[in-house]
């Protein structure tokens, strides 16, 4: 397989930790020049030191502030165009859908769909010029089957998946692919938060909650961020050029659909 990304620039959102950082590390190992993008500058500086050697940098913006996101990415574009975009942002707070306020939806849609769409519009001219573009969205298996207790997240993730599929149909002729990765239960701060919240709600230990969650996974364990990153790397490579408009589940077999 041709997994060499030398000469390509990649903008990786939510890359100061977790899956975003793991993807940034993977792309740097594939010789891409990586721009980390998140809101915490000290965490970004620490993350930058964990990348393989290359012409890497970082941008700082809070994804709840769309204008700040635009300003930051335009600074990044002054250094050159990007051919790879990884859309990734923390999920909305858990809770029943019926209890969600309209502002809960507005915040989540801005943080996910609005930011992703804005970044695509900013980076698209450079991708078209290069006749090479890879847009990978880190979403959730809830795209296939809604997850109980994640009402707002299920709704927003579904919107992201539909947006991505539509975009893939429009951009394929320009050598640009758009794909989604649907992580299952992955060892990140997000899963720790979900375990903790469920533990408090049910009045049982976190160990019991974690054990029960793992029972629902045929692989019998949580995934690792590096396992998500490996497939993100493939989708971004030349060898991934004919994979377009797909939603790839990486969940140890947990999702109960074909």
Q: What is the pLDDT of residues 105-146, one digit of tens each?
A: 999 999 999 999 999 999 999 999 999 999 999 999 999 999
Percent over 90 (pLDDT), the chain: 92
HSE-up of residue 223 (Cα within 13 Å, Cβ side): 25
Q: Residues 14-53: pLDDT tens digits?
A: 999 999 999 999 999 999 999 999 999 999 999 999 999 9
The third-level CATH classification (topology) of the domain covering 9-185+224-250 is: Rossmann fold (3.40.50)
Measure the N-to-C terminal CA separation of the chain; round to a whole number of Å.
27
Q: Please give the radius of gyration of the chain, using alpha carbons only, rounded to the nearest integer.
A: 18
Quickly state the pLDDT bin for 77 (edges 50, 70, 90): very high
pLDDT given at position 170: 98
Question: What is the rounded distance in angstroms from the CA atom of residue 255 to the CA atom of residue 147?
Answer: 10
Dihedral sign from CA coordinates of 226, 91, 36, 192 = negative
Helix axes 115-130, 66-77, angle to 10 degrees: 20
Cα of 88 vs its chain's centroid, Å: 3
- The pLDDT of 159-176, averaged and rounded, is 98
Give the domain ranges of the chain. 9-185+224-250, 188-222
Sheet containing strand 84-87, strands side by side: 57-60, 33-38, 9-13, 84-87, 133-138, 176-183, 247-250
Beta-carbon-side half-sphere exposure of residue 194 (alpha carbons within 13 Å):
21
Integer Cα distance of 196 and 148 in angstroms: 16
Given pLDDT bands bounded at 50, 70 and 90, which one contains residue 197? Answer: confident
- Range list of H helices, the chain: 18-29, 41-48, 66-77, 102-109, 115-130, 151-171, 189-202, 206-215, 225-236
Beta strands 57-60 and 84-87: pairing type? unpaired
Quick one: pLDDT at residue 228? 98
The reported pLDDT for the residue numbered 193 is 86
């Amino acid at each position: 397989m041709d997994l060499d990304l030398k000469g390509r620039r990649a903008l990786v959102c939510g890359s100061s930790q977790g899956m975003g950082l793991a993807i940034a590390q993977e792309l740097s190992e594939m010789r891409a020049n990586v721009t980390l993008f998140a809101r915490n500058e000290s965490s970004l500086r620490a993350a930058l030191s964990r990348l393989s050697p290359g012409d890497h940098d970082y941008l700082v913006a809070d994804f709840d502030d769309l204008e700040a996101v635009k300003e930051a990415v335009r600074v990044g574009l002054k250094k050159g165009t990007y051919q790879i975009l990884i859309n990734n942002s923390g999920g909305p707070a858990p809770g029943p859908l019926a209890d969600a306020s309209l502002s809960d939806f507005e915040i989540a849609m801005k943080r996910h769909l609005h930011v992703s769409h804005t970044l695509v519009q900013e980076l698209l001219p450079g991708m078209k010029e290069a006749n090479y573009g890879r847009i990978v969205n880190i979403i959730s298996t809830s795209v296939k089957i809604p997850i109980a207790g994640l009402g707002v997240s299920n709704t927003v993730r579904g919107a992201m998946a539909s947006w991505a599929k539509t975009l893939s149909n429009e951009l394929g002729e320009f050598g640009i692919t758009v794909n989604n990765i649907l992580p299952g239960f992955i060892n990140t701060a997000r899963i720790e938060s979900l375990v903790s919240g469920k533990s408090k709600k049910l009045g049982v230990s976190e160990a019991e909650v974690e054990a029960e969650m793992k029972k629902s996974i045929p692989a019998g364990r949580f995934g690792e961020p590096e396992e998500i990153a490996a497939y993100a790397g493939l989708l971004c490579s030349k060898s991934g050029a004919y994979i377009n408009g797909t939603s790839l589940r990486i969940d140890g077999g947990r999702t109960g659909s074909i």
